[in-house]
Amino acid sequence: MKRLFDVVLSAIALLVLLPVFILLSLLVLIYLGRPILYSQNRPGKNGQPFKMHKFRTMTNATDDSGRLLPNEERLTGFGRFLRSTSLDELPELINVIKGDMSIVGPRPLLMEYLELYTRKESRRHEVRPGITGLAQIRGRNSLSWRNKFRYDIFYVDHHNLFLDVKLICETVGKVLKRSNISTPGSDTIERFKGTDNE
């Protein structure tokens, strides 16, 4: 039922939001250039990698040595707008239809974090990662990593269709308020270094 719910809702959302996709693609092309989408390997269910797609929010600016500048320096005003409205996440609907992701579930993090998880924290990969999730509703990027994982594991143990619908409805409210977008004092998410190193 969850998979059917994901596919049907994502397909409807893609059709309804097609004009928004086209407009955002043009704006990203104008303000940030190519590529329009930012794609990166992320761990999916059981930690298996998949290519996650988002609208670009940062430039490819480099220093004199050709190395990319820090994320905070490459994040533009337009990029901040995309993140604060969560519009950069819309291409993930394609990942849901492909079966890489679910609409609701633990957020897919970086591949390099896999080796840093405790056995309990790694349980977040027992389900498909989601566009939104319990941790996003309860505090998003204002939460500590420890608390994010607690919410993720709670979802793994208690997920059901009713909870998914409830979290989707709450997500809409959070997005409209643009709350808890980034870690306090930073435009981007603080990197995970292991729970013991928080």
The enclosing H or E element of 142 equals none
Q: Which own/partner contact pairs does 16-22 have at CB distance under 8 Å and 24+ positions apart?
A: 17/90, 17/93, 20/87, 20/90, 21/90, 21/91
Residue 159 contacts residue 128 (beta carbons within 8 Å): no
Residue 84 contacts residue 126 (beta carbons within 8 Å): no
Residue 125 contacts residue 45 (beta carbons within 8 Å): yes
Omega prior to 70 cis, within 30 of 0: no
Give the per-residue pLDDT at 196. Answer: 64
Give the per-residue pLDDT at 182. Answer: 47
- List pLDDT tens digits, range 82-139: 988 889 999 999 999 999 999 999 999 999 999 999 999 999 999 999 999 999 898 8
- List pLDDT tens digits, range 62-79: 888 888 888 888 888 999
C-alpha span between 132 and 127 (Å, rounded): 13
Give the per-residue pLDDT at 183. Answer: 44
- List pLDDT tens digits, range 143-182: 889 999 999 999 999 999 999 999 999 998 888 776 655 4
Asked if the model's pLDDT at residue 194 lies above 50, the reply is yes
More confident residue, 46 or 180: 46
More confident residue, 23 or 196: 23
Give the per-residue pLDDT at 184. Answer: 44
